[in-house]
Amino acid sequence: MLYEDPVTGIDIEKQTATTISGKLLKYGTLIVATGCTATRFPEKIGGNLPGVHYIRDVADADSLISSLEKAHKLVVVGGGYIGMEVAAAAVGWKLDTTIIFPENHLLQRLFTPSLAQKYEEFYQENGVKFMKGASIKNLEAGSNGRVASIKLENGSTIEADTVIIGIGAKPAVSPFERLGLNNSVGGIQVDGQFRTGIPGIFAIGDVAAFPLKMYNRMARVEHVDHARRSAQHCVKSLLTAHTSSYDYLPSFYSRVFEYEGSPRKIWWQFFGDNVGETIQVGNFDPKIATFWIDSGKLKGVLLESGSPEEFQLLPELAKSQPFVDKSKLQSASSVEEALEIARTSLQAAV
């Protein structure tokens, strides 16, 4: 295990990998599982100031907790998963918490505007402030050298003694560019068994651009479930006569505001593909569901605060992609009724 001696390059012809210290490692089979690195702000605009945090590993989390114990004004940059989960935790610590992001609403790659509005209202009720559509010019240090404020492109300044940057991640491909990269989704191009274009070399997890079989397109998925499943599929292909292509169902979830004293736990799950038109049912309290329908087929479902039985239905719907009656879904008076309509469509397709 070479935790402190990462690979800096490979020689495909000689089947060797070189580490940063100059060690030469011979391989017969090579599996690239380098994952992603957090996208960072440049140092010249204050991206490395004390008090500025990125979250990618346990050490990052430990460092952040140490900062939060002394923090008063927290700014979270980014309105995605990291931003939403950190902000929910921070107000639980009674910190003055603001989320800044350039988009029009939270989690823009998944949430619809109307769904995001429900979450934003709940976050605001719990003390989180939002600055949407904002662009950051630079982070500024105080007299102690620690981050003290954030300057926006519009000229305004926000005080902050702790800043968390959650603006996405990049696949760690730099030593492996010769293996062939996918320019549309990023990462190392592989087939349905995670083989690269070079015999004996595989790529799995966040760094792999793989064929998303059920949707007939290339994808790169940053999710622990995919990391585990892709590793299992790759190793099974290596060790046995297993030749079937990886067939992955995209899924995402989040749980926040679970701490003692919170008025309500927020727990949503999504399965499938968020393409086509959307139908939203419910009022968020007690629950809400969003259905994505494309060419009459149910492609994806997001459910907030569902029961275990309701959550178990979601992957079945996303895998089967049944034809559904949009007018019936739109006229459903409750989430329960909408899910029953979807369940009936599923049974009809069998």
Cα dist. 281→104, 285, 307, 331 in Å? 22, 11, 16, 9
| Tokens 């995402």, located at residue | 252
Classify 310 as helix, strand or coil. Answer: helix
Is a pLDDT exceeding 70 seen at residue 69?
yes
Amino acid of residue 119: Y
The model carries a pTM of: 0.91
Say whether the peptide bond before residue 211 is cis (omega within 30 degrees of 0).
Answer: no
pLDDT in tens, 88-136: 999 999 999 999 999 999 999 999 999 999 999 999 999 999 999 999 9
- Kindly state the average pLDDT of the residues 63-71: 94
Question: How many residues are listed for the chain in this entry?
Answer: 350
- Alpha helix locations (H) across the chain? 58-68, 81-92, 113-125, 224-239, 308-320, 326-330, 335-349
* Two structure tokens written together for 213: 């079989």
pLDDT in tens, 126-179: 999 999 999 999 999 999 999 999 999 999 999 999 999 999 999 999 999 999
pLDDT in tens, 209-234: 999 999 999 999 999 999 999 999 99
